């Protein structure tokens, strides 16, 4: 469905005045900036399959739990489905992402991460299935093994090393059962800053229930080049988790980023993430 047609239908049904402004260049999902007649800003997310609506509503429950604790997350305004897919319109949060963070901003993110702990609803859990299975058998659209197997002997050997690491330590994250809300893509591009303060955490499409320490491992991976922030994050991770559990999370993140860089970026990006992956594995070895 053309977005203009979708907005026309929504405006008629909901008595709203949304109009398309632009498409966001960052991010892998279809996300579009909207504005209404009052000048308020919104974000439209479009999903090509109708079954995503169930996931949208499940995420909404998780985000409402976080918001009630003071966590800056988007408000879901309108959602639904068409014959061609599902849609979500949420209020835009102020601010913009930054590739770098200050120590004060990182400390605030650590505070927010503690709000994720134990805040999920009760129910069945499948954590850490996704983290483990992607490394051992590959993921759907990400954490693909073929890219590493075919890129070079080095990347093929790295995949085997990551698989050994996960097989050795996977039981470490099965017990005790965690009841945290996990963002699952917690990196600087999804963290908004406004006037130097954390103003929002966005793009909760992968949100699930599990171990909130996984989000800190994701952040650790992306902030690794900043030695001071890296050291601070690693100290916190060792306080909140164990080396065996962190080993599994690190293996997943290395696979995720090396695979993605091979398939979508240039040789220098691949080499950068390979170098970073080996450095982090060395950190595990000498901890």
6-20, 166-180, 214-228, 262-276: which has the minimum mean pLDDT? Answer: 166-180
Res 285: pLDDT: 82
pLDDT digits (tens, 9 = 90+) for 107-129: 999 999 999 999 999 887 889 99
Res 1: pLDDT: 61
Q: Answer whether residue 29 shows pLDDT above 60.
A: no
Confidence of residue 216 (pLDDT cuts 50, 70, 90): very high
Q: Cis omega before residue 176 (within 30°)?
A: yes
Q: What is the 8-class DSSP label of residue 242?
A: -
SS3 content of the chain, % helix, strand, coil (to 5): 50, 15, 30
Q: Do 251 and 165 touch, CB atoms closer than 8 A?
A: yes
Provide the angle, in degrees to the nearest 10, between the axes of the packed helices 243-264 and 213-222. 50
Per-residue pLDDT, averaged over 86-95, amounts to: 96
Per-residue pLDDT, averaged over 42-59, amounts to: 92
CA-CA distance, 263 to 74, in Å (whole number)?
Answer: 31
Distance from the Cα of residue 62 to its chain's centroid: 14
Res 136: pLDDT: 99
Q: Answer whether residue 28 shows pLDDT above 90.
A: no
CB atoms within 10 A of CB 169: 21
Walk me through the domains of the chain, giving residue ranges and CATH numbers: 3-91 (3.30.200.20), 96-285 (3.90.1200.10)
pLDDT digits (tens, 9 = 90+) for 145-158: 999 999 999 999 99
19-28, 59-68, 116-125: which has the minimum mean pLDDT? Answer: 19-28
Res 26: pLDDT: 62
CA-CA distance, 97 to 115, in Å (whole number)?
Answer: 21
Q: Answer whether residue 225 shows pLDDT above 90.
A: yes
What are the beta bridge partners of residue 208?
Answer: 182
pLDDT digits (tens, 9 = 90+) for 245-277: 999 999 999 999 999 999 999 999 999 999 999
21-35, 160-174, 214-228, 240-254: which has the minimum mean pLDDT? Answer: 21-35
Res 172: pLDDT: 81
Distances (CA, A) of 22 to 19, 25, 35, 42, 62: 10, 9, 10, 11, 28
Res 213: pLDDT: 97
Per-residue pLDDT, averaged over 223-234, amounts to: 98
């Amino acid at each position: 469905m053309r977005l203009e047609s979708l907005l026309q239908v929504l405006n008629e049904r909901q008595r709203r005045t949304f109009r398309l402004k632009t498409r966001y260049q960052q991010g892998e999902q279809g996300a579009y900036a909207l504005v209404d007649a009052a000048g308020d800003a919104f974000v439209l997310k479009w999903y090509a399959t109708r079954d995503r609506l169930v996931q949208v509503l499940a995420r909404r429950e998780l985000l409402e739990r976080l918001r009630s604790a003071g966590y800056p997350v988007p408000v879901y305004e309108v959602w639904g489905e068409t014959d061609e897919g599902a849609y979500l319109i949420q209020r835009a949060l102020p601010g913009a992402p930054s590739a770098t963070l200050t120590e004060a901003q990182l400390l605030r993110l650590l505070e927010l991460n503690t709000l994720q702990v134990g805040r999920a609803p009760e129910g069945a859990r499948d954590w850490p299935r996704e983290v483990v299975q992607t490394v051992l058998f590959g993921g759907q659209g990400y954490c693909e093994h073929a890219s590493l197997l075919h890129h070079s002997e080095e990347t093929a050997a790295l995949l085997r090393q990551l698989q050994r690491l996960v097989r050795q330590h996977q039981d470490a994250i099965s017990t005790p059962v965690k009841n945290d809300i996990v963002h699952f893509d917690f990196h600087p591009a999804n963290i908004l800053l406004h006037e130097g303060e954390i103003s929002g955490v966005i793009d909760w499409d992968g949100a699930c229930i599990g171990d909130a320490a996984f989000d800190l491992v994701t952040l650790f991976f992306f902030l690794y080049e900043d030695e001071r922030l890296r050291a601070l994050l690693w100290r916190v991770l060792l306080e909140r988790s164990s080396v065996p559990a962190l080993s599994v999370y690190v293996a997943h993140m290395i696979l995720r980023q090396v695979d993605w860089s091979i398939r979508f970026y240039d040789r220098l990006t691949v080499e950068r993430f390979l170098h970073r992956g080996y450095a982090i594995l060395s950190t595990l070895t000498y901890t």
